[in-house]
């Protein structure tokens, strides 16, 4: 069944798998076995649930967006991942993987980060569990996201600038995977989204499933549409997992400049086969978005599959629509969301009242994070 069991050989239809150097195959296999074991171990699950509750602040609320709903002629519920510790859904996955790393006897976490949100969450979990953390970040992103670099360092992590390639997330991910190869016995590669080689797409979706499970139980009735923004696709995958067995339509919203589903083609990136933005030679192309967290040329393989079989659909919005959406949500509901999350909001603003979202539709939208990190860019007039 989709979005449920462990995918056989890590494959989601034509997508997924494990395309890594031979030296990483044993580590991936060990990780898959450890996760399989931990996920059915009540002690592990209880410890994670406890941390999610007393440390990360779960369950996050489902907030009815009353004024915006009235303006749009729909019923809109917001799943508030912006209220989770460190300000986004990333903490759900990071706490799970950090506990797993400790279970495997690893003492060091290695992670990639783009905007810095995943790096901050990883540095946070490392501090909490007494592990060390090395975070790879493109030097261009370091310049753009000084505040998050400072937060990571304050939490005790080492931030390593990556100066090759486009000096952004794609290159930071390459470097982090190289660092893992070099220290595979004592480190855990803590990937931040539902990409990468098996078991990551499955494991990260399972760690994010808590979003969808909570939202399903909190929703007053079954939504007609479930909407989430998509970078690599982890907040969307976790949300969709809670509604996969219902009739709710699942909609992922990508940045128009990073639309792997709409503008990409099948290819291999960072150890998995999925939809990837590519140039004419098949090289991984640059993504560009106002939201650094969506500035990624790939998408998780399960999304590629859900799109291929028509269970989920993927749409795009422009940077200009996103800037309008973040302001409109702030004024209507008193919530300043992340630029990433504003992609989902922008799609709902555009489509409410159209055949895609007819008047009276019930819509559940995951607000993946809070907007504090984006205030400087917005105040400097980040426009499309
Ligand atoms: C990282 C991030 C995203 C994009 O990641 P997904 O894996 O697609 O969820 C979206 N929103 C916020 C707030 C983020 O920090």
Q: Given this model, what pLDDT does residue 282 score? A: 85
Domain edge (last residue) among 189, 218, 244: 189
Residues 25 and 45 in one domain: yes
Determine whether the shortest distance from the Cβ of 90 to ligand 1 is under 6 A. Answer: yes
Of the residues 69, 81, 112, 256, only one is catalytic, namely: 112
Report the C-alpha gap between 382 and 375 in whole angstroms. 10
Contact (CB, 8 A) for 252 and 234: no
Q: Quick check: is 112 catalytic?
A: yes
Residues 75 and 171 in one domain: no
Q: Given this model, what pLDDT does residue 4 score? A: 57
Q: Given this model, what pLDDT does residue 384 score? A: 39
Whole-number Å distance, alpha carbon 17 to ligand 1 midpoint, is: 22
Domain edge (last residue) among 189, 220, 251: 189
Residues 184 and 238 in one domain: no
**Residue 5 placed within a domain:** no
**Residue 198 placed within a domain:** no
State pLDDT tens for residues 164-176: 888 889 899 999 9
Instruction: List the 62-64 sheet strands across, edge first.
Output: 62-64, 75-80, 362-367, 225-229, 249-255, 312-317
Determine whether the shortest distance from the Cβ of 88 to ligand 1 is under 6 A. Answer: yes
Q: Given this model, what pLDDT does residue 64 score? A: 98
Q: Given this model, what pLDDT does residue 9 score? A: 86
Residues 126 and 184 in one domain: yes
Residues 213 and 319 in one domain: yes
Tens-digit pLDDT string for the chain (384 aa): 345 578 888 999 999 999 999 989 999 999 999 999 999 999 999 999 999 999 999 999 999 999 999 999 999 999 999 999 999 999 999 999 999 999 999 999 999 999 899 999 999 999 999 999 999 999 999 988 889 999 999 999 999 999 988 888 989 999 999 999 999 999 999 999 999 999 999 999 999 999 999 999 999 999 999 999 999 999 999 999 999 999 999 999 999 988 999 899 999 999 999 999 998 888 888 888 888 778 888 999 999 999 999 999 999 999 999 999 999 999 999 999 999 999 999 999 999 999 999 999 999 999 999 999 899 889 987 543
Q: Given this model, what pLDDT does residue 3 score? A: 54
**Residue 333 placed within a domain:** yes
Best mutation site among 84, 193, 329 for ligand 1 pocket (most ligand atoms within 8 Å of CB): 193
Determine whether the shortest distance from the Cβ of 341 to ligand 1 is under 6 A. Answer: yes
Q: Given this model, what pLDDT does residue 8 score? A: 87
Contact (CB, 8 A) for 287 and 138: no
Of the residues 69, 206, 368, 373, only one is catalytic, namely: 368
**Residue 4 placed within a domain:** no
Best mutation site among 111, 116, 117, 345 for ligand 1 pocket (most ligand atoms within 8 Å of CB): 117
Of the residues 90, 170, 362, 373, only one is catalytic, namely: 90
Nearest CA to ligand 1 atom 10: 340
Report the C-alpha gap between 254 and 299 in whole angstroms. 10
**Residue 244 placed within a domain:** yes
**Residue 367 placed within a domain:** yes
Domain edge (last residue) among 189, 218, 251: 189
Whole-number Å distance, alpha carbon 321 to ligand 1 midpoint, is: 18
Nearest CA to ligand 1 atom 7: 234
Residues 285 and 242 in one domain: yes
Determine whether the shortest distance from the Cβ of 368 to ligand 1 is under 6 A. Answer: yes
Contact (CB, 8 A) for 62 and 219: yes
Q: What is the CATH number of the domain that holds 110?
A: 3.40.50.1100
Residues 127 and 265 in one domain: no
Residues 130 and 25 in one domain: yes
Domain count of the chain?
Answer: 2
Whole-number Å distance, alpha carbon 197 to ligand 1 midpoint, is: 19
Ligand 1 atom at shortest distance from the alpha carbon of 87: 13
State pLDDT tens for residues 106-141: 999 999 999 899 999 999 999 999 999 999 999 999
Residues 44 and 108 in one domain: yes
Q: Given this model, what pLDDT does residue 2 score? A: 47
**Residue 195 placed within a domain:** no
Ligand 1 atom at shortest distance from the alpha carbon of 341: 11
**Residue 7 placed within a domain:** no
Residues 109 and 129 in one domain: yes
Q: Given this model, what pLDDT does residue 1 score? A: 38
State pLDDT tens for residues 289-328: 888 778 888 999 999 999 999 999 999 999 999 999 999 9
Determine whether the shortest distance from the Cβ of 232 to ligand 1 is under 6 A. Answer: yes
Residues 213 and 65 in one domain: yes
- Give residue 114's domain range: 19-51+90-189
Residues 337 and 311 in one domain: yes
Ligand 1 atom at shortest distance from the alpha carbon of 238: 9
Whole-number Å distance, alpha carbon 123 to ligand 1 midpoint, is: 17
């Amino acid at each position: 069944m989709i979005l449920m069991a462990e995918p056989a050989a890590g494959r989601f239809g034509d997508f997924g798998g494990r395309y890594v150097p031979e030296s990483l195959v044993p580590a991936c296999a060990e990780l898959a076995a450890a996760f399989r074991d931990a996920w059915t171990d009540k002690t592990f699950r209880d410890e994670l649930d406890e941390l999610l509750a007393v440390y990360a602040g779960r369950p996050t609320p489902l907030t009815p967006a009353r004024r915006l709903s009235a303006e749009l002629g729909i019923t809109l519920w917001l799943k508030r991942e912006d209220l989770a510790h460190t300000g986004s859904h990333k903490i759900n996955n990071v706490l799970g993987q950090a506990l797993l790393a400790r279970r495997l006897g690893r003492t060091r976490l290695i992670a990639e980060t783009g905007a810095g949100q995943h790096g901050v969450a990883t540095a946070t979990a490392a501090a909490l569990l007494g592990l060390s953390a090395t975070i790879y970040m493109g030097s261009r992103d370091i310049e753009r996201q000084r505040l998050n670099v400072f937060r990571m360092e304050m939490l005790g992590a080492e931030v390593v600038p990556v100066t090759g390639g486009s000096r952004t997330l794609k290159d930071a991910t390459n470097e982090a995977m190289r660092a893992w190869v070099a220290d595979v016995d004592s480190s855990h590669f803590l990937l931040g989204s539902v990409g990468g080689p098996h078991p990551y797409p499955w494991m990260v979706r399972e760690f994010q499933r808590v979003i969808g499970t909570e939202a399903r139980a909190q929703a007053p009735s079954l939504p007609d549409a479930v909407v989430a923004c998509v970078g690599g696709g982890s907040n969307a995958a976790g949300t969709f997992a809670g509604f996969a067995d219902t009739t709710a339509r699942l909609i992922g919203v990508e940045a128009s400049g990073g639309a792997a589903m709409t503008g990409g083609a099948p290819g291999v990136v960072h150890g998995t086969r999925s939809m990837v933005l590519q140039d004419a030679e098949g090289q991984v192309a640059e993504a560009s978005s106002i939201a650094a967290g969506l500035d990624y040329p790939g998408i998780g393989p399960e999304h590629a599959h859900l799109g291929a079989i028509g269970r989920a659909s993927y749409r795009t919005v422009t940077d200009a629509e996103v800037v309008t959406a973040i302001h409109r949500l702030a004024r209507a509901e008193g919530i300043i969301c992340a630029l990433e999350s504003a992609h989902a909001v922008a799609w709902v603003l555009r489509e409410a009242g159209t055949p895609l979202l007819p008047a009276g539709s019930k819509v559940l939208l995951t607000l993946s994070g809070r907007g504090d990190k984006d205030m400087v860019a917005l105040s400097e007039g980040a426009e499309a």
